[in-house]
Structures are given as structure tokens and as C-alpha cells.
Structure 1
Amino acid sequence: MNVGIVGSTGYGGIELYRLLANHPYTDKCILYTSSQGGNLYSDVYPHLNGLMDEPLENADEAEGIDVMFLAAPPGVSAELTPSLMNKGCKVIDLSGDLRLKAPGDYEKWYQRKPAAKELIGEAVYGLTEINRERIADTNILSNPGCYPTASLLGLAPLVLRHRIEPASIIIDAKSGISGAGRKAGLGTHYSELNENFKVYKIAEHQHTPEIEQQLGIWMKEPVRISFTPHLVPMTRGIMATMYVQLSESVSTETLLESYQSFYEDAPFVRIRKPGTYPQTKEVAGSNFCDIGLKVDERTGRVVIASVIDNLMKGAAGQAVQNYNVMNGWDERAGLKLVPMYP
């Protein structure tokens, strides 16, 4: 395969390059940009000196690509995807352009004009563990957002196998700063965020409708959740802590067994033993999602903790996992990475 990365100068793009440069089925990885055409990639990222000294190319000149990864800001994929498809290129979009099926939702939450209705309808939502069969047959894939990945993987077995109160779902999520991207901004300035912990976009984060859309598909009814994101002073990682009211009595042990069986064929989801809970550092640099849970018998709620590396399972790692499934390869190809520790 010859692959390309649009948005290669961002954090998602450089993480994609790290994975694809070592992928067993990738022959060539061509890097595209809309802002730094002609510059050497090693000038943008000096740690690649001697490893990748090729110049960046302009995205509208892409030719001879089998699969294009779009790791660009919102709006870019909606414009580029039709022309890429006309060139016979498969597309894996890491932005939110193709995730929301109702165009009105995209316009409301992203404050942008949505992609063409036909394009949105054709795109398959790439939550790999849940959607493998459809992913294997698509040429347009919409990679899930980082917060939705951690949240939905943590909720899926509970929602699909047990009785809960849909209106009770609360998701309290924390992310490392790299989730905000590489562009400088006051909100991620070192002196603003160091030794600080802040909430943001209360009741207005653009990942809310994405989570609700998938939960609604699973529950076969509209779902409304409370989703609150926070920034913590670390580079990588997301922890989503979820609170759900049970409508039937179930023990922690029974739930853990249910989660284990649900994910028995999912190589990147690890369920913790009773009484142990995941930490973001334990998945750093890997494509794992680690999940722990406990039933609070006093309140009738279950508390679920789900952790991922936001740049890996929350972006580039999951995109490569979907790239593997789309091409009929072992979904672990290029992703057999032991987490970095400490």
C-alpha cells in the first residue's frame, strides 16, 4: 500500500507517521500539508532528522495513493474526500466531518456547514471493536473522537447486555493537553495549565452528539447524556469515569465477567480484575483501552473507568487499526506496542 497523511504536521499526523513508517504492509507514506508545503518534515519535527527528510507536499496534488488519512481540522475532509474517492483512494477521516449522521447536528455543534449528505451516509463509524464487519467493507471511514472512544468502549457491554436507566448516564472525562492540538493558544499555555486542572465546554462539547448518536443506535431510542470534559497538566491520556443507574440488580463480579466475554476477541481492550482500576500511564504510547468498574450497591449505580492514550486509541492508533480491518489484515499489524512506562 501507498498511503498519505493530510495534516501531517499536527500531533495526530506525526503519530500516524510513527505507526505507518513501521507498518508491515505500507510501502510508502507521503506527507501532505495545507500550510507548510515544500518544508522538510524533519524541519517541522527535528526528532526525525535523518529518518524523514522528505519535503511536505500540497494536499490538492495527491496522486497514486491507495489510502489517505485525513488528520486535518474540521471542514477539510468534507472538501477533499469526494476528489480522493474519484481517484480510487480509500479515506480514513480523523476529524468530525463525517461522524454525525444528522447534518443539523454537525452545524449546531461544529458551527460549520456539513459535508454532502451522500458522503455522510456512506461513511462507516470506525469504533473497531463494535463495527468490524461494516469497516471491512467500506471505502470511507469516520474515525471516532478521543472522548467518544474511551466512553463508548467503557459503556458498550453494559448498554448492550444489561438493563440501565438511559437518562442516568454521566460521563466525567479528563484529557491530556495534546488533545487540543499543536497550535498555540492561551488555554493550553504552560503557565496557564501547569499545576492546574480545569473544566471546559460544559454542556457544549462537540463530542456529546457523537456519543449520544451511538448510544441511541444501541438502545434503539434517543439518548441524552451529561458529558463534561476537563484538561489536566499531562501530555497524553484520557480517563473517562462513567456513572450509570442500573435498573436490575447485578454484582461487580457478574459485570466484569460480562465485559470479559464481550471483549474476548478484542486484542486492544483489557478488563481489570475486581478491585483494580486503570491509570492513563498504563496505556501511554499504546493502542490499548483499559477498563475497570465497580457496582455501588448502596446507590444502585455502576462506576466505570476507561482509559486510553488520546493520540493512539483515541486517534492515530485506532485509525491504523481500522486501516488493517479495511484491508483484511490482522488488526494488530503495526500496533503491537508495549505501553511506555514510566
Structure 2
Amino acid sequence: MGVIQNRINAFIKLGVFLEQFSQKKIEKKENIAHNDLFFDGFKHQLKIAGENNKWFTNENLLFAIESWTKALSEENIQKWIANENLGTNTSKQVAVIMAGNIPLVGFHDFLSVLISGHSALVKQSSNDKNLLPFLGKYLEYVEPELKGKITFTEEKLSGFDAVIATGSNNTARYFEYYFKNKPSIIRKSRNSVAVLTGEETKEDFENLSDDVFRYFGLGCRSVSKLFVPRNYDFESFFKGMYNKHEIINNAKYANNYDYNKTVYLMSEFDILENGFLMIKEDESYTSPIASIFYEYYDTTEDLKIKLSEEKEKIQCIVARNFIENEIAFGQTQHPELWDYADGVNTLTFLSEI
């Protein structure tokens, strides 16, 4: 456990370092390892990340960092790894192909590989390439044993023993073919849904607005679809969404809203909208930016069967007292370390390669 404890300690120190960067303020604190070397540099990387990707607003960048600050406590890490058999097999080279839809979206895989005692060969998305290499360098400083265990590449991947790859449904087909002879976790695109019954409170809908609008709805944990009883009245839903009406002041979001609204109107689709969000009846799970799809259900039993049959398309189900493993309104963007993407336990996979 000694070697693993060193790695745990490195990530705890990283969490303490990240604590200086919050939505309330960015403030340099005393007695943080290597702070003089890294604080200003990370502040600069945040600025560059926002300039390179206009979806990465300061608020969303700092929200993502706050989430990791909370996750990287000793208590959380120990709870996460408690039942796993880590570090008993030989250290392997694990390729990690990351998405770039939200800030630091690949960090959980990166953390999992290193905590498990393996080396990480990371291929980042061009949409999110600034933050992680800097944090990797910080980890090497606080735990020299990690030097040589972290490699970032833009070249074709080679010399790896296993792979964790996240992408779209199209890239997943390519990954499955390309990595067919290696142990792998290959994630396709998923979306999250909310089940409404008509019993929701004003607070529920305001909380749900976080699930819909955080990261502009670009995350797989973002709610992009509603299931509602037949003849559902959307008035309370729209009132709750108004909580986030200022999102339309973001130029990139506003452009998408205008474009998608034009497409819908030209196609003569029946939509409801409130000036910054459109809703449209549609069986698909993936809605365009600034819109959310909905589908009617007749009985909760029918809906449970449908959700079970289509579980490969769904990341989270937001509901109250409806289904096992549901997520409370407003909580989709607060996953724990043990809330695995696509329900696949990364640590178990890494302990068995």
C-alpha cells in the first residue's frame, strides 16, 4: 500500500493546489507545495483554455476545478479505491483518448490509470488541451515517482497495453476496430434524461436548470431530454428554466439558438420556446444546443421498460422516487469518484489488465 499511498498523497496535494481556484475568487495561499512555481502558470493556462474554446467560460472552467477539488480529498479517494485490488499486477502502459466537450472531462480516466499503478499515454482533444499537461507536471513535482509515468502525445498511439477511449458513436466504431486486439473500455456518446410527473416543485425545476444548462448542455451528464405525462403543461418547467436566462448573453450560445430556431421554423416543426431555450417533441436523446427534446409517456411501467431497453444511450436519469440509481434534480454535474461513465468500473478494468 506504500507506493499507492504516495500516489494518493500526490492527488490530495493536487486537490489542495486546485482549491485556490474557485468561482468566488482565485487567491494564492500559503504553505502549498510548489505554489511559487505553479500558481501563476495555472492561472495563465485557465486564460488560454478559455481563449482556445469559447464554450470554456471562466465560470465553467472554475466549476469543473471546484468539482475536482472536492473529489480529491483523502476520504473520497480512500472510499473509492477501498474494494479494488490495485497495484498487485505489473505496471502497464494505458492509452487514454479523451473527449473535449467539457473542461477536464478526461481527468477521471487519467486519475484512475495513475492511482492503479500504470503509466498514462494521453491523447487529448484539441478542444481541451491546456489544463491537464500542466496538472500532470504538478503531480510529477509533488511525487517524483510519477516522473516518466505521464506522457502526452499528438502522434499516432503505439506501444500501449490497454486503452480507454471516449468519443462519438462514429469514432467508437473506429476505436473498436483499431483496438480490437487490446483490452479496452470504449465509450460512445450518451445523454441524460429527466422524468417529470407533474408533482415537481419550483425548486425542483430551478435545480433542473443546472442539469440542463451547466456547460451549455455539452456534457454527457447534461439533461437533453424530458419524459413527461401526456397532456403535460410546460409552464412550470419554463418558469424554472428562467433561472438561467442570462445564458443567451453568451455569443456562441446565442448563435446556436438563432441557427437551430431558424432550422426548426423552416422545417415547420412544432416547438415551444422562451427566448433562450426551445423544446421539441422528438424520440432522439441528443438535442442540439439551446434545445431540449421531450417525449410523452402513458404509464410509469411503460417508461421504465423503455428506459431499460435504451439504457445504452443514457448516462443519468434525473427523477424523484421513480427508478433505481436515479439522480436528484440539480445533481448531475456533481458526480462522485465512484460514479463511472457508462456504468463501467474503470478501476476494476485497470486492476485486471
TM-score interval, normalised by the smaller of the two chains: 0.3 to 0.5
Query: Which structure's residues are more often helix, by fraction?
Result: 2
TM-score, with length taken from structure 1: 0.36
TM-score, with length taken from structure 2: 0.36
Higher-Rg structure is 2
